[in-house]
Structure 1
Amino acid sequence: MWRLAFVLAFCGAAAFAGCRDMAFEGASYSVCEVSAADDLRLFHSGPEGALGSFSAVDQTLKPQGLRLDFAMNAGMYHRDLAPVGLYVENGAQAAPLVTRAGPGNFGLLPNGVFCIGKTLRVIETLAFEAAEPKCRYATQSGPMLVIGGKLHPKFLADSDSLNIRNGVGVSADGNRAVFVISNDPVNFYAFARLFRDGLGLPDALYFDGSISRLYDHDSGRHDAGFPMGPMVGVVVAR
Protein backbone atom coordinates (compact mmCIF):
# COMPACT_ATOMS: atom_id res chain seq x y z
CA MET A 1 0.00 0.00 0.00
CA TRP A 2 2.86 2.37 0.79
CA ARG A 3 4.23 1.75 -2.72
CA LEU A 4 0.95 2.87 -4.27
CA ALA A 5 0.91 6.00 -2.12
CA PHE A 6 4.46 6.74 -3.19
CA VAL A 7 3.56 6.46 -6.87
CA LEU A 8 0.46 8.61 -6.46
CA ALA A 9 2.48 11.28 -4.72
CA PHE A 10 4.82 11.35 -7.70
CA CYS A 11 1.95 11.53 -10.18
CA GLY A 12 0.76 14.78 -8.67
CA ALA A 13 4.14 16.51 -8.94
CA ALA A 14 4.21 19.60 -11.18
CA ALA A 15 7.94 20.39 -11.11
CA PHE A 16 11.25 19.09 -9.86
CA ALA A 17 11.08 18.85 -6.09
CA GLY A 18 14.39 17.22 -5.25
CA CYS A 19 15.38 13.61 -4.71
CA ARG A 20 14.23 11.16 -2.09
CA ASP A 21 15.17 7.69 -0.93
CA MET A 22 12.88 4.75 -1.56
CA ALA A 23 13.02 1.12 -0.43
CA PHE A 24 11.86 -1.57 -2.85
CA GLU A 25 12.16 -5.32 -2.33
CA GLY A 26 14.99 -5.05 0.17
CA ALA A 27 17.15 -2.49 -1.66
CA SER A 28 17.52 1.27 -1.28
CA TYR A 29 17.23 3.71 -4.19
CA SER A 30 17.48 7.48 -4.65
CA VAL A 31 14.61 8.63 -6.86
CA CYS A 32 14.42 12.01 -8.59
CA GLU A 33 11.36 13.04 -10.59
CA VAL A 34 11.42 15.64 -13.34
CA SER A 35 8.46 17.24 -15.10
CA ALA A 36 8.36 17.96 -18.84
CA ALA A 37 7.92 21.59 -17.78
CA ASP A 38 11.33 21.63 -16.07
CA ASP A 39 14.44 22.91 -17.82
CA LEU A 40 15.99 19.49 -18.37
CA ARG A 41 19.15 19.37 -20.48
CA LEU A 42 21.99 17.09 -21.53
CA PHE A 43 25.60 18.17 -21.12
CA HIS A 44 28.82 16.87 -22.59
CA SER A 45 31.34 19.42 -23.89
CA GLY A 46 32.51 22.97 -23.27
CA PRO A 47 35.01 25.19 -25.11
CA GLU A 48 37.91 23.05 -23.89
CA GLY A 49 36.36 19.63 -24.55
CA ALA A 50 34.42 17.16 -22.44
CA LEU A 51 33.16 18.68 -19.18
CA GLY A 52 33.51 15.44 -17.26
CA SER A 53 31.94 16.49 -13.94
CA PHE A 54 28.88 18.06 -12.35
CA SER A 55 31.06 20.92 -11.04
CA ALA A 56 32.24 21.74 -14.55
CA VAL A 57 28.65 21.80 -15.81
CA ASP A 58 27.69 24.14 -12.98
CA GLN A 59 30.56 26.47 -13.83
CA THR A 60 29.41 26.74 -17.46
CA LEU A 61 25.95 27.77 -16.24
CA LYS A 62 27.17 30.36 -13.72
CA PRO A 63 27.76 33.25 -16.19
CA GLN A 64 24.14 32.86 -17.30
CA GLY A 65 22.86 33.22 -13.73
CA LEU A 66 21.90 29.54 -13.70
CA ARG A 67 22.88 26.46 -11.71
CA LEU A 68 22.29 22.73 -11.57
CA ASP A 69 19.46 21.61 -9.32
CA PHE A 70 19.87 17.90 -10.05
CA ALA A 71 22.17 15.89 -12.31
CA MET A 72 23.14 12.33 -13.18
CA ASN A 73 25.43 10.56 -15.63
CA ALA A 74 23.37 9.79 -18.73
CA GLY A 75 24.75 7.16 -21.03
CA MET A 76 27.87 5.17 -21.80
CA TYR A 77 31.03 6.62 -23.28
CA HIS A 78 34.42 5.73 -24.73
CA ARG A 79 37.80 6.25 -23.05
CA ASP A 80 37.96 9.77 -24.48
CA LEU A 81 34.50 10.46 -22.92
CA ALA A 82 32.80 10.54 -26.35
CA PRO A 83 29.25 9.08 -26.33
CA VAL A 84 28.97 5.43 -27.41
CA GLY A 85 25.68 5.96 -29.24
CA LEU A 86 23.36 8.75 -30.37
CA TYR A 87 23.94 12.06 -28.65
CA VAL A 88 22.00 15.26 -29.41
CA GLU A 89 22.57 18.49 -27.49
CA ASN A 90 20.42 21.57 -28.04
CA GLY A 91 19.27 20.23 -31.41
CA ALA A 92 22.76 19.39 -32.72
CA GLN A 93 23.74 15.76 -33.25
CA ALA A 94 27.23 15.02 -31.95
CA ALA A 95 27.19 11.21 -32.36
CA PRO A 96 25.05 8.91 -34.56
CA LEU A 97 22.52 6.25 -33.63
CA VAL A 98 24.00 2.75 -33.24
CA THR A 99 21.59 -0.04 -34.20
CA ARG A 100 23.80 -3.14 -34.23
CA ALA A 101 24.31 -5.57 -31.37
CA GLY A 102 27.66 -5.44 -29.64
CA PRO A 103 29.64 -6.23 -26.51
CA GLY A 104 28.81 -4.99 -23.04
CA ASN A 105 25.58 -3.65 -21.64
CA PHE A 106 25.09 -1.08 -24.42
CA GLY A 107 24.96 -3.82 -27.04
CA LEU A 108 22.54 -6.04 -25.11
CA LEU A 109 19.61 -5.45 -27.45
CA PRO A 110 17.07 -4.05 -27.24
CA ASN A 111 18.66 -0.79 -26.16
CA GLY A 112 17.12 2.64 -26.47
CA VAL A 113 17.15 6.43 -26.48
CA PHE A 114 16.09 8.96 -23.88
CA CYS A 115 14.55 11.86 -25.81
CA ILE A 116 13.85 15.32 -24.38
CA GLY A 117 11.42 17.23 -26.58
CA LYS A 118 7.93 18.56 -25.99
CA THR A 119 7.51 15.43 -23.91
CA LEU A 120 9.96 13.05 -22.23
CA ARG A 121 10.33 9.66 -23.90
CA VAL A 122 12.30 6.43 -23.70
CA ILE A 123 12.19 4.78 -27.12
CA GLU A 124 13.63 1.43 -28.25
CA THR A 125 16.43 2.07 -30.76
CA LEU A 126 14.86 0.54 -33.89
CA ALA A 127 11.55 2.26 -33.14
CA PHE A 128 13.46 5.51 -32.73
CA GLU A 129 15.19 4.99 -36.08
CA ALA A 130 11.84 4.35 -37.79
CA ALA A 131 9.98 7.25 -36.19
CA GLU A 132 12.76 9.87 -36.23
CA PRO A 133 11.21 11.84 -33.35
CA LYS A 134 12.22 15.44 -32.78
CA CYS A 135 14.46 15.63 -29.73
CA ARG A 136 16.11 18.79 -28.51
CA TYR A 137 18.31 16.51 -26.43
CA ALA A 138 18.84 12.77 -26.82
CA THR A 139 21.17 10.13 -25.42
CA GLN A 140 21.36 6.48 -26.42
CA SER A 141 22.20 3.79 -23.88
CA GLY A 142 21.39 0.23 -23.05
CA PRO A 143 19.96 -2.11 -22.34
CA MET A 144 16.33 -1.12 -22.15
CA LEU A 145 15.02 -2.01 -18.72
CA VAL A 146 11.28 -1.90 -19.44
CA ILE A 147 9.73 -1.92 -22.92
CA GLY A 148 6.00 -1.27 -23.14
CA GLY A 149 5.47 -2.62 -19.64
CA LYS A 150 7.60 -5.75 -20.16
CA LEU A 151 11.03 -6.41 -18.67
CA HIS A 152 14.00 -6.89 -20.98
CA PRO A 153 13.75 -10.56 -22.08
CA LYS A 154 17.35 -11.42 -21.15
CA PHE A 155 17.17 -10.38 -17.50
CA LEU A 156 17.38 -13.17 -14.92
CA ALA A 157 15.79 -12.89 -11.49
CA ASP A 158 18.57 -14.91 -9.87
CA SER A 159 21.50 -13.22 -11.62
CA ASP A 160 24.49 -12.69 -9.34
CA SER A 161 25.72 -9.70 -11.38
CA LEU A 162 25.22 -7.05 -8.72
CA ASN A 163 26.19 -3.42 -9.09
CA ILE A 164 25.23 0.14 -8.27
CA ARG A 165 23.07 1.09 -11.25
CA ASN A 166 21.29 4.17 -12.60
CA GLY A 167 18.71 4.85 -15.28
CA VAL A 168 15.57 6.71 -16.28
CA GLY A 169 11.92 5.78 -16.72
CA VAL A 170 9.08 7.79 -18.24
CA SER A 171 5.34 7.97 -17.71
CA ALA A 172 2.97 6.86 -20.47
CA ASP A 173 1.89 10.45 -21.16
CA GLY A 174 5.47 11.72 -21.41
CA ASN A 175 4.96 14.34 -18.73
CA ARG A 176 7.33 12.78 -16.18
CA ALA A 177 10.79 11.28 -16.16
CA VAL A 178 12.02 9.48 -13.07
CA PHE A 179 15.77 9.18 -12.61
CA VAL A 180 16.96 6.47 -10.23
CA ILE A 181 20.29 5.40 -8.76
CA SER A 182 20.54 2.34 -6.54
CA ASN A 183 22.18 2.84 -3.18
CA ASP A 184 22.73 -0.92 -2.90
CA PRO A 185 24.17 -3.31 -5.52
CA VAL A 186 21.32 -4.85 -7.53
CA ASN A 187 20.97 -6.96 -10.67
CA PHE A 188 19.23 -5.85 -13.87
CA TYR A 189 16.05 -7.76 -13.07
CA ALA A 190 15.59 -6.07 -9.69
CA PHE A 191 16.42 -2.66 -11.14
CA ALA A 192 13.93 -3.07 -13.98
CA ARG A 193 11.22 -4.23 -11.57
CA LEU A 194 11.70 -1.06 -9.54
CA PHE A 195 10.76 1.05 -12.56
CA ARG A 196 7.84 -1.11 -13.67
CA ASP A 197 6.39 -2.41 -10.41
CA GLY A 198 7.70 0.07 -7.84
CA LEU A 199 7.19 3.26 -9.85
CA GLY A 200 4.59 2.17 -12.41
CA LEU A 201 6.55 3.33 -15.46
CA PRO A 202 6.01 1.52 -18.79
CA ASP A 203 9.38 2.34 -20.37
CA ALA A 204 12.81 2.64 -18.77
CA LEU A 205 16.42 2.80 -19.93
CA TYR A 206 19.67 1.81 -18.23
CA PHE A 207 22.37 4.48 -18.08
CA ASP A 208 25.36 2.80 -16.42
CA GLY A 209 26.72 0.78 -13.53
CA SER A 210 29.91 1.20 -11.54
CA ILE A 211 30.38 4.87 -12.48
CA SER A 212 26.77 5.81 -11.61
CA ARG A 213 26.65 9.14 -9.83
CA LEU A 214 24.10 11.67 -8.61
CA TYR A 215 24.08 15.39 -7.81
CA ASP A 216 21.23 16.86 -5.74
CA HIS A 217 21.59 20.50 -4.74
CA ASP A 218 18.96 20.49 -2.00
CA SER A 219 20.33 17.51 -0.09
CA GLY A 220 23.96 18.39 -0.69
CA ARG A 221 24.68 15.05 -2.36
CA HIS A 222 27.51 15.30 -4.87
CA ASP A 223 28.96 11.93 -5.88
CA ALA A 224 32.58 12.22 -6.99
CA GLY A 225 34.70 9.97 -9.17
CA PHE A 226 36.38 9.60 -12.55
CA PRO A 227 35.37 11.97 -15.41
CA MET A 228 32.02 11.23 -17.05
CA GLY A 229 30.72 11.49 -20.60
CA PRO A 230 27.07 12.57 -21.13
CA MET A 231 25.27 14.05 -18.14
CA VAL A 232 21.63 15.06 -17.65
CA GLY A 233 20.42 17.76 -15.32
CA VAL A 234 17.72 20.23 -14.33
CA VAL A 235 18.75 23.89 -14.63
CA VAL A 236 17.34 26.66 -12.42
CA ALA A 237 18.13 30.29 -11.65
CA ARG A 238 20.82 30.88 -9.03
Structure 2
Amino acid sequence: MKRVAALLLGAALVAGAWFALSDGDRPTAPAKPPKPSACKSVTFDGKRFTECIALPGQHRISTKITGKNGVIYRGFAGLAEDVDPATVAFAVNGGMYDTGSEPIGYYAEDGQRLYPLNTRDGGGNFYLKPNGVFFGEPDGGWQVMTSDDFATKVTQRPNFGTQSGPMLLIGGALNLQISPDGTSLKIRNAVGVDPQGRAHFVISDEPVSFGTLAALMRDHAKTSDALFLDGTVSALWDPASDRMDGRYPLGPLILVTHRSPD
Protein backbone atom coordinates (compact mmCIF):
# COMPACT_ATOMS: atom_id res chain seq x y z
CA MET A 1 0.00 0.00 0.00
CA LYS A 2 2.85 2.39 0.82
CA ARG A 3 4.31 1.74 -2.65
CA VAL A 4 0.97 2.46 -4.35
CA ALA A 5 0.47 5.62 -2.30
CA ALA A 6 3.94 6.83 -3.24
CA LEU A 7 3.27 6.25 -6.92
CA LEU A 8 -0.03 8.13 -6.74
CA LEU A 9 1.64 11.01 -4.93
CA GLY A 10 4.39 11.16 -7.55
CA ALA A 11 1.85 11.22 -10.38
CA ALA A 12 -0.06 14.02 -8.68
CA LEU A 13 3.10 16.07 -8.27
CA VAL A 14 3.99 15.62 -11.95
CA ALA A 15 0.49 16.63 -13.03
CA GLY A 16 0.61 19.67 -10.76
CA ALA A 17 3.95 20.71 -12.15
CA TRP A 18 2.58 20.41 -15.71
CA PHE A 19 -0.38 22.64 -15.07
CA ALA A 20 1.85 25.11 -13.23
CA LEU A 21 3.85 25.67 -16.39
CA SER A 22 2.97 28.75 -18.37
CA ASP A 23 1.79 28.28 -21.94
CA GLY A 24 5.18 29.42 -23.16
CA ASP A 25 6.97 26.77 -21.05
CA ARG A 26 4.91 23.79 -22.14
CA PRO A 27 6.33 21.65 -24.94
CA THR A 28 4.56 22.15 -28.24
CA ALA A 29 4.04 19.81 -31.14
CA PRO A 30 6.77 20.20 -33.74
CA ALA A 31 5.83 22.52 -36.59
CA LYS A 32 5.13 20.91 -39.92
CA PRO A 33 8.18 21.16 -42.17
CA PRO A 34 7.78 23.82 -44.86
CA LYS A 35 6.86 22.58 -48.31
CA PRO A 36 9.87 22.35 -50.62
CA SER A 37 10.28 24.99 -53.28
CA ALA A 38 8.56 24.37 -56.60
CA CYS A 39 11.42 26.30 -58.22
CA LYS A 40 14.94 25.25 -59.16
CA SER A 41 17.99 26.74 -60.80
CA VAL A 42 18.68 25.72 -64.40
CA THR A 43 21.64 26.44 -66.66
CA PHE A 44 20.89 26.35 -70.38
CA ASP A 45 23.19 27.42 -73.20
CA GLY A 46 25.51 28.89 -70.58
CA LYS A 47 22.77 31.12 -69.12
CA ARG A 48 21.21 30.95 -65.65
CA PHE A 49 17.46 30.57 -65.20
CA THR A 50 14.97 29.73 -62.48
CA GLU A 51 12.26 27.25 -63.44
CA CYS A 52 9.08 26.85 -61.38
CA ILE A 53 6.70 24.01 -62.17
CA ALA A 54 2.99 23.86 -61.32
CA LEU A 55 1.66 20.31 -61.05
CA PRO A 56 -1.98 19.42 -61.77
CA GLY A 57 -3.57 17.98 -58.65
CA GLN A 58 -0.93 19.49 -56.38
CA HIS A 59 -1.13 23.16 -57.26
CA ARG A 60 -3.83 25.67 -58.15
CA ILE A 61 -3.31 28.56 -60.56
CA SER A 62 -5.13 31.88 -60.46
CA THR A 63 -4.65 35.38 -61.78
CA LYS A 64 -4.56 38.45 -59.56
CA ILE A 65 -4.47 42.15 -60.27
CA THR A 66 -6.39 44.11 -57.62
CA GLY A 67 -5.94 43.91 -53.86
CA LYS A 68 -8.62 43.69 -51.21
CA ASN A 69 -8.32 47.45 -50.87
CA GLY A 70 -9.35 47.91 -54.51
CA VAL A 71 -5.90 49.10 -55.60
CA ILE A 72 -3.92 47.36 -58.37
CA TYR A 73 -1.04 45.43 -56.80
CA ARG A 74 1.78 46.49 -59.18
CA GLY A 75 4.11 44.16 -57.26
CA PHE A 76 4.28 41.22 -54.86
CA ALA A 77 4.31 43.13 -51.56
CA GLY A 78 0.60 43.90 -51.65
CA LEU A 79 -0.25 40.36 -52.75
CA ALA A 80 1.72 38.99 -49.80
CA GLU A 81 -0.49 41.02 -47.46
CA ASP A 82 -3.67 39.54 -48.94
CA VAL A 83 -2.70 35.85 -48.97
CA ASP A 84 -1.15 33.43 -46.49
CA PRO A 85 2.44 33.02 -47.73
CA ALA A 86 2.45 29.45 -46.36
CA THR A 87 -0.10 28.53 -49.05
CA VAL A 88 1.92 30.08 -51.88
CA ALA A 89 4.09 27.90 -54.10
CA PHE A 90 5.21 30.87 -56.20
CA ALA A 91 3.96 33.86 -58.16
CA VAL A 92 5.18 35.59 -61.32
CA ASN A 93 4.33 38.63 -63.39
CA GLY A 94 1.63 37.58 -65.80
CA GLY A 95 1.22 39.49 -69.03
CA MET A 96 1.51 42.84 -70.76
CA TYR A 97 0.00 45.99 -69.28
CA ASP A 98 -0.32 49.74 -69.76
CA THR A 99 1.15 52.60 -67.74
CA GLY A 100 -1.55 52.12 -65.10
CA SER A 101 -0.64 48.40 -64.75
CA GLU A 102 -3.93 47.35 -66.37
CA PRO A 103 -3.84 44.49 -68.90
CA ILE A 104 -3.68 45.51 -72.55
CA GLY A 105 -5.17 42.19 -73.63
CA TYR A 106 -7.43 39.39 -72.47
CA TYR A 107 -7.63 38.93 -68.73
CA ALA A 108 -9.95 36.64 -66.76
CA GLU A 109 -9.99 36.12 -63.00
CA ASP A 110 -12.22 33.78 -60.97
CA GLY A 111 -14.30 33.02 -64.05
CA GLN A 112 -14.94 36.68 -64.88
CA ARG A 113 -13.57 38.28 -68.04
CA LEU A 114 -12.34 41.67 -66.93
CA TYR A 115 -10.53 42.70 -70.14
CA PRO A 116 -11.32 41.58 -73.73
CA LEU A 117 -9.06 39.81 -76.21
CA ASN A 118 -6.83 42.27 -78.06
CA THR A 119 -6.40 41.42 -81.75
CA ARG A 120 -5.27 44.87 -82.89
CA ASP A 121 -1.95 45.66 -84.55
CA GLY A 122 0.62 47.90 -82.91
CA GLY A 123 4.21 48.30 -81.80
CA GLY A 124 6.15 46.51 -79.09
CA ASN A 125 6.58 42.90 -78.03
CA PHE A 126 2.87 42.30 -77.47
CA TYR A 127 2.23 42.89 -81.17
CA LEU A 128 4.99 40.59 -82.47
CA LYS A 129 2.31 38.26 -83.74
CA PRO A 130 1.16 35.75 -83.11
CA ASN A 131 0.69 36.64 -79.48
CA GLY A 132 -1.17 34.29 -77.18
CA VAL A 133 -3.15 33.45 -74.07
CA PHE A 134 -2.29 31.30 -71.06
CA PHE A 135 -5.49 30.00 -69.50
CA GLY A 136 -7.25 27.16 -67.73
CA GLU A 137 -8.98 26.03 -64.57
CA PRO A 138 -7.40 26.30 -61.11
CA ASP A 139 -6.57 22.59 -60.75
CA GLY A 140 -5.45 21.81 -64.29
CA GLY A 141 -6.32 21.83 -67.96
CA TRP A 142 -3.78 24.60 -68.41
CA GLN A 143 -3.01 25.67 -71.96
CA VAL A 144 -1.05 28.14 -74.05
CA MET A 145 -2.70 29.04 -77.35
CA THR A 146 -2.30 31.71 -80.00
CA SER A 147 -4.79 34.54 -79.64
CA ASP A 148 -6.43 33.67 -82.97
CA ASP A 149 -6.92 30.05 -81.92
CA PHE A 150 -8.21 31.15 -78.54
CA ALA A 151 -10.79 33.36 -80.24
CA THR A 152 -12.08 30.59 -82.50
CA LYS A 153 -11.61 27.40 -80.45
CA VAL A 154 -12.32 28.31 -76.83
CA THR A 155 -16.09 28.43 -76.39
CA GLN A 156 -16.28 28.19 -72.59
CA ARG A 157 -14.81 31.02 -70.56
CA PRO A 158 -11.83 29.75 -68.53
CA ASN A 159 -11.50 30.41 -64.83
CA PHE A 160 -8.32 32.39 -65.45
CA GLY A 161 -6.54 33.74 -68.49
CA THR A 162 -3.96 36.32 -69.46
CA GLN A 163 -2.87 37.53 -72.89
CA SER A 164 0.72 38.40 -73.68
CA GLY A 165 3.15 38.27 -76.55
CA PRO A 166 4.85 37.23 -78.53
CA MET A 167 4.37 33.49 -78.66
CA LEU A 168 7.83 31.96 -78.43
CA LEU A 169 6.86 28.53 -79.71
CA ILE A 170 3.91 27.42 -81.82
CA GLY A 171 3.56 23.67 -82.28
CA GLY A 172 7.21 23.22 -81.36
CA ALA A 173 8.45 25.74 -83.94
CA LEU A 174 10.06 29.07 -83.18
CA ASN A 175 7.86 32.10 -83.85
CA LEU A 176 9.02 33.46 -87.22
CA GLN A 177 9.14 36.96 -85.71
CA ILE A 178 11.93 35.82 -83.36
CA SER A 179 15.59 35.38 -84.25
CA PRO A 180 17.23 32.21 -82.88
CA ASP A 181 20.30 34.24 -81.92
CA GLY A 182 19.08 37.81 -81.49
CA THR A 183 21.31 40.45 -79.94
CA SER A 184 18.69 42.04 -77.66
CA LEU A 185 19.43 40.70 -74.17
CA LYS A 186 17.08 41.31 -71.24
CA ILE A 187 15.73 39.62 -68.14
CA ARG A 188 12.79 37.68 -69.57
CA ASN A 189 10.19 35.14 -68.48
CA ALA A 190 7.79 32.75 -70.16
CA VAL A 191 5.23 30.01 -69.57
CA GLY A 192 4.50 26.75 -71.37
CA VAL A 193 2.69 23.49 -70.69
CA ASP A 194 4.35 20.11 -71.26
CA PRO A 195 2.65 16.91 -72.53
CA GLN A 196 1.97 15.84 -68.92
CA GLY A 197 -0.04 19.01 -68.33
CA ARG A 198 2.57 20.63 -66.07
CA ALA A 199 2.94 24.40 -66.39
CA HIS A 200 6.57 25.55 -66.61
CA PHE A 201 7.28 29.13 -65.58
CA VAL A 202 10.83 30.18 -66.46
CA ILE A 203 12.58 33.43 -65.61
CA SER A 204 16.12 34.28 -66.65
CA ASP A 205 18.53 35.25 -63.90
CA GLU A 206 20.65 37.17 -66.38
CA PRO A 207 19.87 38.96 -69.65
CA VAL A 208 19.00 36.55 -72.49
CA SER A 209 17.59 36.74 -76.01
CA PHE A 210 14.14 35.66 -77.13
CA GLY A 211 15.77 32.81 -79.05
CA THR A 212 17.58 31.40 -76.02
CA LEU A 213 14.44 31.53 -73.90
CA ALA A 214 12.42 29.85 -76.66
CA ALA A 215 15.02 27.11 -77.06
CA LEU A 216 14.95 26.42 -73.31
CA MET A 217 11.16 26.13 -73.35
CA ARG A 218 11.38 23.68 -76.26
CA ASP A 219 14.46 21.59 -75.43
CA HIS A 220 14.54 21.66 -71.63
CA ALA A 221 10.93 22.23 -70.51
CA LYS A 222 9.60 20.16 -73.44
CA THR A 223 6.74 22.56 -74.16
CA SER A 224 5.47 22.79 -77.73
CA ASP A 225 3.66 26.10 -77.20
CA ALA A 226 5.26 28.79 -75.06
CA LEU A 227 4.28 32.38 -74.33
CA PHE A 228 6.54 35.29 -73.48
CA LEU A 229 5.26 37.04 -70.36
CA ASP A 230 7.54 40.08 -70.16
CA GLY A 231 11.07 41.41 -70.11
CA THR A 232 13.13 43.74 -67.91
CA VAL A 233 10.48 43.80 -65.14
CA SER A 234 10.10 40.00 -65.06
CA ALA A 235 9.80 38.96 -61.42
CA LEU A 236 9.34 35.93 -59.16
CA TRP A 237 8.06 35.42 -55.62
CA ASP A 238 9.13 32.07 -54.15
CA PRO A 239 8.41 32.04 -50.39
CA ALA A 240 10.15 28.68 -49.86
CA SER A 241 13.48 30.17 -50.93
CA ASP A 242 12.74 33.58 -49.40
CA ARG A 243 12.89 35.22 -52.83
CA MET A 244 10.68 38.18 -53.65
CA ASP A 245 11.89 40.18 -56.62
CA GLY A 246 11.21 43.87 -56.17
CA ARG A 247 10.92 44.91 -59.82
CA TYR A 248 8.16 47.48 -60.13
CA PRO A 249 5.65 48.27 -61.44
CA LEU A 250 4.13 44.98 -62.52
CA GLY A 251 0.73 44.33 -64.09
CA PRO A 252 -1.31 41.13 -63.86
CA LEU A 253 0.10 38.47 -61.55
CA ILE A 254 -0.08 34.68 -61.82
CA LEU A 255 -0.39 33.04 -58.41
CA VAL A 256 0.34 29.34 -57.86
CA THR A 257 -0.79 27.93 -54.51
CA HIS A 258 -0.55 24.56 -52.82
CA ARG A 259 -3.76 22.59 -53.17
CA SER A 260 -5.45 21.94 -49.83
CA PRO A 261 -6.04 18.27 -48.92
CA ASP A 262 -9.57 17.12 -49.72
Normalized against structure 2, the TM-score is what? Answer: 0.79
Distance 1:147 1:205 in 2: 9
Distance 1:73 1:225 in 2: 10
**Displacement after TM superposition at 1:66 (Å):** 6.3
Q: Does 1:51 align with 2:73?
A: yes
SS in 2 for 1:140: strand
Quick check: 1:146–1:203 contact (8 Å CA) kept in 2?
Answer: yes
Quick check: 2:36–2:240 contact (8 Å CA) kept in 1?
Answer: no
For residues 37-56 of structure 1, give each alpha carbon's deviation from its aligned partner in whole angstroms, at most 9, with x where no partner exists: 21211110123220122121
Distance 1:196 1:134 in 2: 28
**Displacement after TM superposition at 1:100 (Å):** 2.2
**Displacement after TM superposition at 1:17 (Å):** 4.7
Q: Does 1:223 align with 2:245?
A: yes
For residues 19-42 of structure 1, give each alpha carbon's deviation from its aligned partner in whole angstroms, at most 9, with x where no partner exists: 101111111110000012212111
RMSD: 1.8
Q: Does 1:167 align with 2:190?
A: yes
Which letter maps to 1:163? K
Q: How does 1:87-236 map to 2 (within 5 A)?
A: 87-117=107-137, 118-132=140-154, 133-173=156-196, 175-236=197-258
**Displacement after TM superposition at 1:16 (Å):** 8.3
Normalized against structure 1, the TM-score is what? Answer: 0.87
Distance 2:133 2:223 in 1: 16
Quick check: 1:113–1:138 contact (8 Å CA) kept in 2?
Answer: yes
**Displacement after TM superposition at 1:232 (Å):** 0.7
Distance 1:131 1:183 in 2: 35
Distance 1:71 1:201 in 2: 20
Give the aligned partner of residue 11 of structure 1.
Answer: none
Q: Would you tell me which structure has more strand in proportion to its own residues?
A: 1
Distance 1:202 1:227 in 2: 30
Distance 1:202 1:180 in 2: 15
Distance 2:37 2:45 in 1: 24
Partner of residue 34 from structure 1, selected from 54, 61, 70 = 54
User: How many pairs does the alignment contain?
Assistant: 220
Structure 1 regions of 5+ residues with no counterpart?
1-14
**Displacement after TM superposition at 1:228 (Å):** 1.2
**Displacement after TM superposition at 1:185 (Å):** 0.9
**Displacement after TM superposition at 1:189 (Å):** 0.8
- CA distance 1:66–1:92, shift in 2 (3 Å): farther
For residues 108-159 of structure 1, give each alpha carbon's deviation from its aligned partner in whole angstroms, at most 9, with x where no partner exists: 1000000022401001000000012431000000000111111111211332
Distance 1:45 1:84 in 2: 15
Structure 2 regions of 5+ residues with no counterpart?
1-34
Give percent identity, aligned residues only. Answer: 37
Distance 1:157 1:126 in 2: 24
Moved over 6 A (4+): none
**Displacement after TM superposition at 1:85 (Å):** 0.3
Quick check: 1:82–1:229 contact (8 Å CA) kept in 2?
Answer: yes
Which letter maps to 1:158? D
**Displacement after TM superposition at 1:199 (Å):** 1.7
